[in-house]
């Protein structure tokens, strides 16, 4: 996957980089990727494909009731692999090598579903945008930017909703909500990811305070150990 630079995305990313809404902060990001694979991507892609095929074989042999129909089509498997590769580039410090697990968290969406999420979570951001940009519509700017890269009418739209009980990169400390959408154009072989997270300033400050306290305690312990060594 190759990161693509598009100027229309820059102003949106700058706006959503650290949007202060008083008691909360929104952090969002739009990124565009070509599905052209690098050497590392090809290695992971092959591994993901083999995992899916093994999973399908085991599921059929065991008469499993898990949702595997989507993975039978080669085209669907390629789509899933592209989405997982996109996640790997977005969050390089996390392991997305299990396509089978990831496929359970992806869900195909309609544009109206995306718009509903937008209306629910970004209405305050839209107001801030309009105030800062002469009343212009944030959803129109956002739509036009995505459309320039992947042509929305030709896109498949996916949301990614993992189990937030485990270790994951999607929620900031003190997060109130988060969403991840992917706009995939099969013909152009491009993906645009749109991720947003809103977190409480108070909770974030509490976490920060705890982190600072832990650091101070660790420094004190190191100093005590050093003094003990010197006495010996």
Domain limits at 186?
Answer: 2-201
**pLDDT band for position 212 (cuts 50, 70, 90):** very low
In a domain, 42, yes or no: yes
Instruction: Flag whether 169 is in a domain.
Output: yes
Rank 33-37, 59-63, 181-185 by mean pLDDT and report only the highest: 181-185
What's the Cα-to-Cα distance from 57 to each of 38, 50, 64, 75, 77, rounded to whole Å? 28, 11, 10, 18, 14
Host H or E run for residue 33: strand 24-34
Count of domains forming the chain: 1
Evaluate if residue 92 carries a pLDDT over 90: no
Percentage of the residues of the chain whose pLDDT score is greater than 70: 70
Question: What's the pLDDT at 185?
Answer: 96
Q: Residue 218 falls within a domain, yes or no? A: no
Higher pLDDT, 94 or 24: 24
Q: Residue 193: its pLDDT value, please?
A: 95
Sign of the four-CA dihedral 63, 67, 73, 74? negative
For the ranges 5-9, 116-120, 127-131, 188-192, which has the lowest average pLDDT? Answer: 5-9
120 within some domain: yes
- Counting residues of the chain whose pLDDT is more than 90, the rounded percentage is 37
Q: Rounded mean pLDDT of 97-118?
A: 81
Residue 112 domain-assigned?
yes
Q: Give the domain CATH number at 70.
A: 3.40.1000.50
- On whether residue 102 sits in a domain, the answer given is yes
Q: Determine the pLDDT at residue 152.
A: 95
User: 206 lies in a domain?
Assistant: no
Query: pLDDT at position 216, please?
Result: 42
Q: Is the residue at 38 inside a domain?
A: yes
**Residue 188 belongs to what H/E stretch?**
none
pLDDT digits (tens, 9 = 90+) for 177-195: 889 999 999 999 999 999 9
Q: Quick one: DSSP state of residue 153?
A: G
CB-based contacts of 106, cutoff 8 Å, min separation 6: 80, 83, 158, 159, 160
At residue 90, the pLDDT reads 86
pLDDT at 88: 84
**Average pLDDT of span 118-136:** 94
Q: Cα separation of 150 and 194, whole Å?
A: 13
State yes or no: pLDDT of 166 exceeds 70. Answer: no
pLDDT of residue 217: 47
Residues 37-51 pLDDT 10s: 877 788 888 888 777
| More reliable by pLDDT, 186 or 227 | 186
Could you tell me which residue, 211 or 36, shows the higher pLDDT? 36
């Amino acid at each position: 996957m190759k990161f693509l630079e598009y100027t229309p995305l820059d102003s949106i990313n700058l706006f959503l980089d650290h949007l202060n809404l008083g008691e909360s902060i929104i952090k969002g990001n739009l990124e565009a990727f070509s599905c052209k694979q690098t050497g590392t991507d090809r290695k992971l892609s092959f591994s993901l494909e083999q995992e899916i095929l093994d999973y399908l074989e085991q599921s059929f042999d065991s008469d499993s009731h898990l949702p595997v129909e989507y993975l039978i089509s080669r085209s669907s498997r390629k789509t899933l692999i592209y989405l997982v590769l996109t996640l790997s580039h977005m969050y390089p410090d996390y392991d997305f090598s299990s396509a089978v697990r990831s496929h359970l968290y992806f869900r195909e969406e309609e544009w109206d579903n995306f718009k509903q999420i937008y209306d629910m979570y970004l209405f305050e951001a839209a107001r801030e945008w309009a105030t800062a940009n002469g009343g212009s519509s944030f959803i129109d700017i956002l739509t036009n930017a995505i459309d320039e890269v992947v042509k929305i009418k030709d896109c498949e739209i996916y949301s990614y909703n993992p189990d937030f009980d485990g270790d994951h990169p999607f929620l900031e400390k003190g997060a109130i909500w988060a969403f991840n959408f992917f706009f995939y154009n099969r013909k152009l072989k491009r993906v645009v990811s749109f991720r947003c997270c809103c977190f409480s300033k108070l909770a974030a400050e509490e976490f920060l305070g705890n982190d600072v306290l832990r650091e101070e305690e660790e420094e004190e312990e190191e100093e005590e150990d050093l003094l003990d060594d010197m006495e010996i």
